[in-house]
Chains A and B, each alone.
Chain A
Amino acid sequence: GEDVEQSLFLSVREGDSSVINCTYTDSSSTYLYWYKQEPGAGLQLLTYIFSNMDMKQDQRLTVLLNKKDKHLSLRIADTQTGDSAIYFCAERESSASKIIFGSGTRLSIRP
């Protein structure tokens, strides 16, 4: 079945870049997503990438997709304290339309 894996924790210094990695198993995944969850809140969509793309950039966010290795990453440039949150990677097949989430990576920022 489908599976999405992420490391549980990441700590970076304020101002540095954060790179959060994700691997998935379903080669038929059509859409891949990054969501952000702040404490006590729901999941907020950050960005998504279609499977025929290698890269997508949106302001401080860069998403890289290696479809051969089934590896997705999210880079946050100039990480700020407001970026502290849990980041979820997710995949979706176009046909089944259900979205499978990873366990989430908790990003903490140190001064």
Chain B
Amino acid sequence: DAGVIQSPRHEVTEMGQEVTLRCKPISGHDYLFWYRQTMMRGLELLIYFNNNVPIDDSGMPEDRFSAKMPNASFSTLKIQPSEPRDSAVYFCASSLVGAGNTIYFGEGSWLTVV
């Protein structure tokens, strides 16, 4: 399997612009997670889905952030409008219930908002 695939790997955008991050989970996995990593706050869980349904979005920082999972093989995290404090690495991860409930991470999307 190719693992969790994220795009873009790197993005630099201007403040106020819309940013869309994409994720393809491992085929067959029924959970999908979005995390954000910064030096100051470490690794934060933003939202997670089970069978394409959002289960817990309490980590989403504010209304500028939204996430969707239209089908089992695709999810997006959107920031509109973006702000410099949104600069971070955004990780997507997926897992399958059972076998240790292990989650597998993508390589991350490195976002810089200037």
| A residues in contact with B55, CB < 8 Å | 97-98
Best-buried of A41, A42, A94, A97 by chain B (most CB within 10 Å):
A42
In the complex the two chains form, what is the Cα distance from A102 to B37 in whole Å? 12
- Are A101 and B43 CB-contacts (below 8 A) given A42-B91, A42-B105, A44-B105? yes
| A residues in contact with B106, CB < 8 Å | 42
In the complex the two chains form, what is the Cα distance from A103 to B82 in whole Å? 25
Interface string of A90-104 (1 = CB under 8 A from B): 001010111111111
In the complex the two chains form, what is the Cα distance from A103 to B31 in whole Å? 23
Tell whether, in the assembled complex, residue B108 and residue A48 are in contact, meaning their CB atoms are under 8 Å apart.
Answer: no
Tell whether, in the assembled complex, residue B42 and residue A97 are in contact, meaning their CB atoms are under 8 Å apart.
Answer: no
Tell whether, in the assembled complex, residue B43 and residue A98 are in contact, meaning their CB atoms are under 8 Å apart.
Answer: no
| B residues in contact with A102, CB < 8 Å | 42
Secondary structure dominating the interface of B: strand
Tell whether, in the assembled complex, residue B42 and residue A99 are in contact, meaning their CB atoms are under 8 Å apart.
Answer: no
Q: How far apart are B74's CB and chain A's nearest CB, in angstroms?
A: 18
Tell whether, in the assembled complex, residue A92 and residue B45 are in contact, meaning their CB atoms are under 8 Å apart.
Answer: no
| A residues in contact with B45, CB < 8 Å | 98-101
| A residues in contact with B35, CB < 8 Å | 101
Bin the interface of chain B by size.
20 to 34
Tell whether, in the assembled complex, residue B102 and residue A33 are in contact, meaning their CB atoms are under 8 Å apart.
Answer: yes
Partner of B43, one of A44, A50, A88: A88
Q: How far apart are B44's CB and chain A's nearest CB, in angstroms?
A: 9
Query: Does A43 count as interface, using CB distance less than 8 angstroms?
Result: yes
Partner of A45, one of B56, B104, B108: B104
- Are A41 and B107 CB-contacts (below 8 A) given A99-B45, A101-B42, A104-B43? yes
Interface string of B81-97 (1 = CB under 8 A from A): 00000000001010101
* Residues of chain B whose beta carbon lies under 8 Å from any beta carbon of chain A: 4, 31, 33, 35, 42-43, 45, 48, 50, 55-56, 91, 93, 95, 97, 100-108
Sampled A-B contacts (21; CB under 8 Å): A31-B101, A31-B102, A35-B105, A42-B91, A43-B43, A43-B91, A43-B93, A43-B105, A44-B105, A45-B103, A45-B104, A92-B101, A94-B101, A97-B31, A97-B48, A97-B55, A98-B55, A99-B45, A101-B42, A103-B42, A103-B43
